[in-house]
Amino acid sequence: MPHVYLDYAGFSPVDPRVVAVMRPFLEGGVGNPSASHSLGQEARASLDGARTKVARLIGGAPEGVIFTASATEANNLAVKGLTQRAPGRHVVTSAIEHISVLNPCRDLEKRGYTVTYVPVDGEGRVDPEAVARALSPDTAFVAIMAANGEIGTLQSIREVGRLAHARGVPFHVDAVGAAGRVALSVDDCYVDLLTLSSNDLYGPPGAGALWARPGLRLAPLILGGGQESGYRSGTENLPAIVGMGMAAEFARVEGPAERARLGPLRDRLLAGLLERVPGARVTGARGAGRLPHHASVVVSGVKADSVLLELDARGIAASSGSACNTLTGEPSHVLRAIGCDREASEGSLCFTLGRWTTAGEIDQALEALPAVVARLRRLAP
């Protein structure tokens, strides 16, 4: 097991306090939330309590929370659920959305929809006015993420939401990675749908949620017994959902202090990387325009896979970007969108900090990486 874990965006360790809350739901004595007996009623109360906690994190109505098995499912429900109910045949999104938004949009194109992929600048920022110019009377919805998980850039979702709202177009935000780490209110940002991931909140994997503004009509992806107000049939994963609710509550209460602690550690890591690794440059925005726990760079003259293997051998876990892109084997669409050529993309490194990251661990990474890069460059043909 690595001694220094800097891949919180890939998988966040589950908070032990969350595990303690989940344990009774895994050990028995808990009913089905749809059952009418007392155990079922207790389970229903626990489910509703988790719904309230998740909604409280984003300032939304609890009845808008639809629990899913993952953020990927929630994004699919938003994209496909809206287009099956909305009359428009046009979608506006950005070139750097997560593939669980982009791939459903590409599927829509195969079925006759038109999708506008709004470009980004060199730091990965979407221009809200470009989104507004892309809107048409036929636009079914707009989907812009709150922050990019690969380069850490925060988006101006409040301005995008305001412009979409003024035109009466539903606005979806993928808030994975941002919720709990930056201030986020669905009402202040004119958000109609918002995606959350349990594990990115230090909750268990296997749970996610889509918040949909009450009154907005979606078509369900999964049909069956009508759970989750008919939007997500199947017996609810109560242990994971309760864990997600507790994780959301901790994120809401402790988020400001965690942001204040991690921001300086992130800046220390980025500054050290630029100072100690020749040919390294930051990808994404700087300072307040970036997720407080996120540091990403491209390093010339090395392959990221080799760097990560050597870091792992030294007890340091990091990544080269989105874990989902790693699984598909596709080159990074995000790095292409911000102007990185293939050679630069091959040296992409991503370090994400979290609840248990210490200053000493940052120093360990800064000591190890320059030596690893220098060695690999010497070995390169």
pLDDT of res. 82: 93
Who contacts 209 (Cβ-Cβ below 8 Å, separation ≥6)?
54, 65, 66, 67, 68, 74, 195, 196, 198, 244
Which residue type does 233 have? S
Beta carbons of 229 and 180 less than 8 angstroms apart: no
Beta carbons of 219 and 230 less than 8 angstroms apart: no
Beta carbons of 6 and 318 less than 8 angstroms apart: yes
Who contacts 182 (Cβ-Cβ below 8 Å, separation ≥6)?
146, 147, 154, 259, 291, 292
Q: Provide the total of helices (H) and of strands (E) in the chain, helices listed first.
A: 12, 12
Instruction: Give backbone dihedrals phi and psi of 28, rounded to 5 degrees, phi first.
Output: 110, 175
User: Does the annotation count 324 as an active-site position?
Assistant: yes
SS3 281: strand
Beta bridge partners of 177: none
pLDDT of res. 87: 86
pLDDT of res. 328: 57
What domains are there in the chain, each with its CATH number? Answer: 4-12+255-379 (3.90.1150.10), 16-251 (3.40.640.10)
pLDDT of res. 29: 75
The whole-model pTM stands at 0.95
Options 105, 324, 340, 350, the catalytic residue: 324
- Residue 298 in tokens: 């491209």
What is the rounded CA–CA span in Å between residue 185 and residue 179?
9
Beta carbons of 208 and 20 less than 8 angstroms apart: no
Tens of pLDDT along the chain (381 residues)? 468 999 999 999 999 999 999 999 999 878 999 999 999 999 999 999 999 999 999 999 999 999 999 999 999 999 999 998 888 999 999 999 999 999 999 999 999 999 999 999 999 999 999 999 999 999 999 999 999 999 999 999 999 999 999 999 999 999 999 999 999 999 999 999 999 999 999 999 999 999 999 999 999 999 999 999 999 999 999 999 999 999 999 999 999 999 999 999 999 999 999 999 999 999 999 999 999 999 999 999 999 999 999 999 999 999 996 544 555 566 799 999 999 998 889 999 999 999 999 999 999 999 999 999 999 999 877
Q: Kindly write down the DSSP assignment for every residue of 111-135, as one continuous string.
A: TT-EEEEE-B-TT--B-HHHHHHH-
Best CA proximity match to 207, nearest among 243, 173, 181, 232? 243
pLDDT of res. 30: 85
How far does Cα 320 stand from its chain's mean position?
A: 16
Handedness of CA 320, 326, 331, 337 (dihedral sign): negative
Q: What is the Cβ-side half-sphere exposure of residue 310, based on CA atoms within 13 angstroms? A: 18
pLDDT of res. 361: 97
Beta carbons of 350 and 150 less than 8 angstroms apart: yes
What is the rounded CA–CA span in Å between residue 262 and residue 355?
8
What is the rounded CA–CA span in Å between residue 294 and residue 273?
13
Rounded to whole angstroms, the maximal C-alpha distance in the chain is: 70
Q: What angle do CA 56, 59, 65 make, to 5 degrees?
A: 65
Q: What is the DSSP letter of 200?
A: G
